[in-house]
Every structure is written in structure tokens, then in C-alpha cells.
Chain A
Amino acid sequence: MEFKDYYKTLGIAREASADDIKKAYRRLARKYHPDVSKEADASARMAEVNEANAVLSDPEKRAAYDALGSGAAHAGGQDFRPPPHWDAGYEFTGTPGGGAGMDEAQFSDFFEQLFGRAAQARHGAGGARGGTSEGGTQRGADHHARIELALRDAYLGGERLLTLRGARLDAQGQLVQQERQVQVKIPKGVREGQLIRLSGQGGPGLGGAPAGDLFLEVEFQPDARWRTQDRDVYLSVPVAPWEAELGGPIEVQTPGGASVEVTVPARFKPGRKLRLKARGIPAATPGDLYLELQVVLPAAHTEAQQQAYRTLAKAFAGFAPRASQGV
């Protein structure tokens, strides 16, 4: 386990006042806020900052942490093990994780071992605030993550193998990290931005209490061919110039993989959409599928094909494609 120098993380001296800690934390929270930061590792840095603040802003945790010694004393990449009973005499009365609004699932092994559920179990769960019952039980924390799905999954449902990082307490009350896999059946009809709840797949409960839930926020994989708006799906459909102008049947593959025959009306109009009712994302009231026609010009590779374009030009001698630009 790597020693975490929380003072270094927040960029403050060990003698920093509570006000200094708060200012440093807010400055970094603004810098690495996942919704606004352009830093590539913003989420990971934000988790580090939250973790450091969760310890240093809590006088009890800070005092216990300071008693471990300075970061320099544990530097050099050595494996860090807290001394036995290192926290004897300290009473952690806060929540085991980062407190209100924080997601402890992202905190490090170092934090978990010293201040997380292992610490809480050593101290006896009954003393903590934040939802612990008198009987020493506490429901596990909810965890949150994002999941990227294909639009096809929304049409047909799908399965995903998730690897979840979890923890359990061993016989000595030490925290043991473990990874586990869980297979999730994605229900069809899911839309972008929606949440999927996996009951009981969050953090473990204490004292026999149930585990928390895992919430997955759905994002669709970007695809130039389509976009969604609520349950409606807009599909870009390339058509040849003669199909666009003369009309007629064309075959279209829906995002769900089905092939449908659609009749394109004659006389193409830019921006025209063809609606296929109830062919959008499935639901009790399914969305519609809108086909946005895009005229695609074939490249003239052979002499015969080039001659065809010349013939076309003669047939449309009066056509002025740039008339709107005054040319």
C-alpha cells in the first residue's frame, strides 16, 4: 500500500490552518471538476483531492494522520503498512467515506485501510454518524459509474460484463481489496442519460446490513450515422441523385438491425425527413425513426461514367447551383 501525502495533494504545508485547507480544496475542486475541467485525468485528480480533503478537513482524522509521520518519512516507493493500533486513542465520528456528497468508491486503499470501513469496523460501527443504526449496522454506500452502450443495445437489449472493485474485511479486520465480475443484462428501451440501477452491487454493508446499489449512467457510443432525441432516432440515409429526384423504393437498415423497404418520394427537398412510426427506441410508447436523406454523388471513374455526367450537364444547362450566392 502506497503512503498518500495529503498535504502534497492539496499543495499546502503541514501547518496549514483549516481555512488554508478549505481554500486549497475549493481551488482544486474548481480546477478538476469533471463537468468543466479540460484536464485528461480530471476525474482521477478530483478523487485524490476529495480524499485528501476528507482527511485533512476533519480534525480527528487529521490528527490521526499526522501521527503517522510526514510524507517524507514514507517516501521512496516503499510499501506502507500502518503500525498496529496506530489509531488507538483517536475517535473518528464522521462518516467512513468523504462525507456528504462524496463518493468513497473512488478513494484509495490507503484511505480505506486507515479511515474507511476497515477503520470503522475496528472502532465499532456503532459510534459513527451518517446512517449507522444503533445496532451497529449500516447499509452499504451507493456507487456510481458511466456505461457506454451501442444504440443497438437500446433496441434489442444487451449484456455487459462489468468488473467491479470491491473490498471485504478479513478476520483481523483488515481491508482486502478484491475485484469481482458481474454480468448485467441491459434492458431494451434504455435511453441516453438514463440511469440503470443494479440493486445490491454497491458498497458492502456493515453488520449484516444490505449492500448499496450501483447506478450506471448511460451514454451511447458516438456514431455519425444517427442521433437520438428522447426515444426518437434520427438516421442519416445516403441516397443516389436519381433516387432522391425520381423517388422509389430503397432498403434501409434500422439501428436495431432490421431491414425495411421505404418509398422515397419524388422531387428531393433538402432537410426532408421520412418518419417510420414506432421504429425508434422501444417502449410502451415507442419512439419514431426519422430518415434524413443525404444525396451522395457517385465518382466518375470510367470514360462512360464521365460521359454520363457530361450528358447530365447538357440536360440541365440552365441549372445554377450557386444562384443563392449571386453567381
Chain B
Amino acid sequence: MADHSHPHVPSAAAEILGDAPCLSAQDLAQACRMQVSWVTERLSAGLLQGELQAGRWRCSGAALVRARRLAQFETTFDADPELAALTTDLIEEVAQLRQQLRRLQARLGSLN
């Protein structure tokens, strides 16, 4: 691939947050600007996905995105956590459907 490097610009190390549980409850709390207890309560209730490893919660990158949505609904609308989770489920579903629609439209466009 073409070399787009800029010799005078500092480099930043990029890390993919994949399916592996690489984030702590503290990481999620920091990203959402919420308390750690807020995160652990939602993990315990199954509103967020995570794994308990030696008594500590570990989460994937996808959990961080979901946690930010939950936090936004709860703080903006004073939403009950279950209701915020339901709304987040629906938004995630709509996002998947929109993505499928875009792909189908792109394929249809390529056939015409």
C-alpha cells in the first residue's frame, strides 16, 4: 500500500478492542463518565455483557459502545435501566437492518 507516513507527526499506538474481554469496569466507567458501581450493577443485571474473571469484570469493545448508549438514555431521560437497555437493543437492531439495507441497495445498484 502507499506510504502515507508524515515524518514530523507523532505516531500513536492503536489497539483493536475486539471480542476478547480486554476492558475493565473502570475503563467502561471512565468512557461513560459514570461511576464504576453503575457499570457493575448493569453487568450483574445482564444489561451489559461481560465476564467475571477472578472476581473482576472484563468486557469487550462492543460492551463499551453499548454502555455509552445506556448511560446516555439513563441520564438524558432519567430512563429506568431496563427501559434504557430495551431502547439500546432496538437501536442496535435498527443499525443492523440499516446496514443490510445499504448493502442490498449497493448490490441492486451494481446490477442495474
Contact = CB atoms under 8 A, between A and B. Distances in A.
Contacts of B69: 35
Contacts of A216: 14
B53 interface: no
A99 B72 CA distance: 11
A181 B76 contact: no
A183 interface: yes
A100 interface: yes
A235 to B, nearest CB: 11
Interface string B71-112: 110111100000000000001001100000011001101110
Contacts of B62: 193-195
Interface string A90-118: 00000101011111000000000000000
A201 B12 contact: yes
Interface in B32-69: 32-34, 38, 61-62, 64-65, 68-69
Interface in A150-170: 152, 156-162
A195 B64 contact: yes
Interface residues of B, number: 43
Nearest to B29: A131
A161 B12 contact: no
Interface in A175-208: 181-187, 189-191, 193-201
Given A152-B1, A161-B6, A236-B107, A101 B76 contact: yes
Contacts of A100: 32-34, 38, 71, 75
Contact of B1 (A26, A158, A217): A158
A213 B109 CA distance: 40
Contact of A215 (B64, B77, B94, B102): B64
8 contacts: A26-B76, A29-B76, A159-B4, A193-B62, A193-B65, A195-B16, A215-B31, A257-B1
Given A101-B72, A160-B4, A185-B11, 14 more contacts: A26-B77, A29-B76, A35-B69, A99-B75, A101-B34, A131-B30, A142-B30, A183-B5, A184-B12, A196-B17, A212-B30, A214-B12, A223-B106, A227-B103
